[in-house]
């Protein structure tokens, strides 16, 4: 089953950036272990991990394997930042296994592939498409405290860029230890940050170019 959480509490409202995400579990196919298992958000929190949920429409489709291959190329960087990466679709864990074995673009995929066949978790993250029964292309970063830090949703026909996911993950990782600061556009580690306050009003150019 997709979730072991009490969904009477989970489903009435959608996940919102800046708010805590209820704990839930998903069945997965784990390419690293070569078998099935369960990923549990509560366990990841206890381990102090960030969680990245990478929703996509369906296995055995067209844009999806290119996205998962791109994500696989950045997987180690995300793991090194303390993140557990989990791809999610409404396919079953058995379909994930078959797709991983058949599609050569997925050869380097090592992250867990979660099954949400009832769409419960997809609906909670507001990526469920009611006409098709599939999930849109949604990427969500959840902090070790369980707070939804980042949300991105694309329609079916536009693939994502894992480079930007890594950049956002690095920024969120930095800000966890520097909550008084803010990261400007295109920020990467080593770039200047901003410290919001009355002295910065109308003076952002000067702060970034001193």
Q: What is the CATH number of the domain that holds 157?
A: 3.40.30.10
Please tell me the predicted confidence (pLDDT) of residue 77: 98
Radius of gyration from C-alpha coordinates of the chain:
18
pTM: 0.92
Query: Using one digit for the tens of pLDDT, what is the confidence trace for 33-89?
Result: 999 999 999 999 999 999 999 999 999 999 999 999 999 999 999 999 999 999 999
Work out the average pLDDT over 90-116.
98
**Is 39 inside any structural domain?**
yes
pLDDT at residue 13, as a whole number: 77
Domain that holds residue 132: 7-162
Domain-located, residue 26: yes
User: Does 171 fall in a domain?
Assistant: no
Whether 169 maps to a domain, the answer reads no
Q: Which of these is catalytic: 10, 26, 41, 64?
A: 64
Task: Compute the residue count for the chain.
Answer: 210
Q: Is 61 domain-assigned? A: yes
183 annotated active-site: no
Q: How many domains does the chain have?
A: 1
Identify whether 201 is part of a domain: no
Residue 149 lies in a domain: yes
């Amino acid at each position: 089953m997709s979730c072991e959480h009490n969904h009477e509490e989970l489903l009435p409202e959608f996940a919102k950036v800046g708010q805590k995400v209820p704990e839930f579990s998903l069945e997965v196919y784990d390419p690293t272990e070569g078998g099935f298992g369960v990923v549990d958000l509560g366990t990841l929190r206890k381990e102090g991990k960030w969680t990245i949920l990478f929703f996509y429409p369906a296995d055995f489709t067209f844009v999806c394997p290119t996205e998962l291959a791109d994500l696989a190329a950045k997987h180690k960087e995300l793991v090194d930042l303390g993140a557990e990466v989990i791809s999610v679709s409404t396919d079953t864990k058995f379909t994930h296994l078959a797709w991983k074995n058949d599609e050569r673009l997925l050869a380097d995929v090592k992250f867990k592939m979660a099954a949400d066949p009832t769409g419960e978790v997809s609906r909670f993250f507001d990526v469920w498409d009611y006409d098709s029964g599939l999930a849109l292309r949604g990427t969500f970063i959840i902090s070790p405290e369980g707070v939804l830090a980042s949300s991105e949703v694309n329609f079916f026909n536009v693939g994502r860029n894992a480079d930007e996911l890594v950049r956002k993950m690095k920024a969120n990782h930095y800000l966890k230890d520097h909550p008084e600061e803010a990261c400007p556009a295109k920020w990467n580690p080593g770039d200047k940050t901003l410290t919001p306050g009355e002295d910065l009003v109308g003076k952002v150019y000067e702060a970034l170019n001193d």
